[in-house]
Amino acid sequence: MLGGGSFTLFHVRGIRIAVDWSWFLILFFLIFSMSRAYGETLGEDATDAAPFALAVASAVLFFGSILFHELGHAWAALRHGIGISSIQLWIFGGVANLDRESDSPRAEFQVAVAGPVATLLVILGCIGIGSVLVGPGDFLHATRLALELHADREVSALASMFAWLAAINAFVLVFNLLPAFPMDGGRIARALIWQRTGNRTQATRTAAALGRGFGYLFIGAGLVLIASGNVIGGIWLGFVGVIVNGAARGAMMQTALTSKIDGIRVADVMDREPVTIPGDISVERALDEYFLRYRWPWFPVVDAAHRFLGLVQRDRADEVPEVSRASSHVAELVDDDTSLFVRDDTPLDALLSNQNLRKLGALMAVDAEGRLSGVVTIEQVGRALRDA
């Protein structure tokens, strides 16, 4: 992104929804341009209340549709056990910050395609509402005008708003489906190549190469637009090309790094004898025999069959009243977030972008039956990279 801070708007099911400072630039531009168009449609000045209100509504609904797109990604990611730390809106759209990469081609495909599906639903909804308001024929006419930001007093301003929303989201959908990594189309291409070859590193390398190619294509097309007189459109497309090219180049560099640890699994580097706390012991015993003894901030908790139940934090144990610690069990305090553990046969390169590994400093490793088989730390991953 362009740097700078972000502003939290609200939270959706624990996901932080924020905007980058650059978001306000496009918000101002949209309101300014749409106010003039709605003013012509209504026969009023662009600064009057009605055109300005419609312009604000258009901008808010447009960014609402971008947020809905990113929530589509988030919903699909959560279904596959991938956490979402935040969704950030900025000048070029939105970004869903995943806690980790997908661990299978199917998950990668479903997470990538969920956003475009959400955008398609927005387009169909706008077409349906607009057609009900003025009829299918007049709505198509309104859509043609909306694409050119031209006015026609025979078309209602409200229908024009939904026509513009349908048109701009259709453009976003088509553009986003281009096979240019890291856009959704590029991620879909990576999933398909991954499924065919069985090699995520190779799939990422190929998709990133496509992304760099499209990045240069966008930059070239932007220069052509500037030369032909469309300065705003040319600069916009050129910036998109720079962003796509830079992101794809970063992916290629990371792929070059991860290829050196290709074939190494979590089980190859993890600590196979971690200290664990039985879930059926009292909180009092856990504090005395584990937290006070080892001075660690957290411990993995297991049941009698050594199945991983979750993590218990020192702070959670301290919050239990002293009079209740002897009768309270550790299993009642565990954080059973699925993003806190990985399968022990997971490729090590899949942990490089894992946000929970960075935050916690370690992840629990479990076998196919859910039994705790070890703990992999960020130091162990770093050591494997240095050795490679």
Q: What is the pLDDT of residues 185-196, one digit of tens each?
A: 999 999 999 999
175 within 8 A of 218, measured Cβ to Cβ: no
What mean pLDDT is predicted for residues 226-243? 87
What mean pLDDT is predicted for residues 228-241? 86
pLDDT for residue 382 is more than 70: yes
pLDDT for residue 310 is more than 70: yes
Residue 223: predicted pLDDT: 94
What mean pLDDT is predicted for residues 130-150? 69
Residue 154: predicted pLDDT: 56
Q: DSSP letter string over 16-31?
A: EEEEETTHHHHHHHHH
Dihedral class, residue 358 (left if φ above 0, else alpha if ψ from -120 to 50, else beta) = alpha
Q: How confident is the model at residue 1 (pLDDT cuts 50, 70, 90)?
A: very low
Q: How confident is the model at residue 3 (pLDDT cuts 50, 70, 90)?
A: very low
Q: Which of 368, 371, 375 is nearest to 307 (CA)?
A: 371
What mean pLDDT is predicted for residues 314-334? 93
pLDDT for residue 281 is more than 70: yes
Q: Which residues are paired to 15 by β-bridges?
A: 12
Residue 217: predicted pLDDT: 94
The 10s digit of each residue's pLDDT in 145-184 is 665 555 554 567 777 888 889 988 998 999 999 998 888 9
Backbone angles phi and psi of 283, in degrees to 5: -65, -35
Residue 2: predicted pLDDT: 43
Q: Does 115 or 255 have the greater pLDDT score?
A: 115
Distance, CA of 192 to CA of 349 (rounded, Å):
19
Q: How confident is the model at residue 275 (pLDDT cuts 50, 70, 90)?
A: very high
Residue 338: predicted pLDDT: 72
376 within 8 A of 342, measured Cβ to Cβ: yes
Contact residues for 264 (Cβ-Cβ < 8 A; gap 6+): 347, 348, 349, 384, 388
pLDDT for residue 383 is more than 80: yes
pLDDT for residue 32 is more than 60: yes
Distance, CA of 112 to CA of 110 (rounded, Å):
5
What mean pLDDT is predicted for residues 223-242? 88
Number of Cβ within 10 Å of residue 23's Cβ equals: 21
Residue 155: predicted pLDDT: 61
Q: Does 272 or 84 have the greater pLDDT score?
A: 272
What mean pLDDT is predicted for residues 283-301? 94
249 within 8 A of 208, measured Cβ to Cβ: yes
CB under 8 Å, gap of 24 or more: what pairs does 122-130 form?
A: 122/65, 122/68, 122/69, 122/165, 122/169, 123/166, 123/169, 123/170, 123/173, 126/162, 126/163, 126/165, 126/166, 126/169, 127/162, 127/166, 129/162, 130/159, 130/162, 130/163, 130/166
Residue 141: predicted pLDDT: 66
The 10s digit of each residue's pLDDT in 336-377 is 777 788 889 888 877 877 878 888 899 999 998 999 999 999
Distance, CA of 194 to CA of 106 (rounded, Å):
9
Q: DSSP letter string over 240-286?
A: HHHHHHHHHHHHHHHHHHHGGGTT-BHHHHSBSS---EETTSBHHHH
Q: pLDDT > 90: what percent of the chain? A: 45
Buried b (16+ CB within 10 A) or exposed e, 183-201: bbbbbbbbbbbbeeeeebb
Indicate the average pLDDT of the chain. Answer: 86
Residue 5: predicted pLDDT: 60
Residue 146: predicted pLDDT: 60
Residue 148: predicted pLDDT: 57
245 within 8 A of 215, measured Cβ to Cβ: yes
Residue 300: predicted pLDDT: 95
The 10s digit of each residue's pLDDT in 249-259 is 988 887 877 77
Q: Does 327 or 13 have the greater pLDDT score?
A: 327
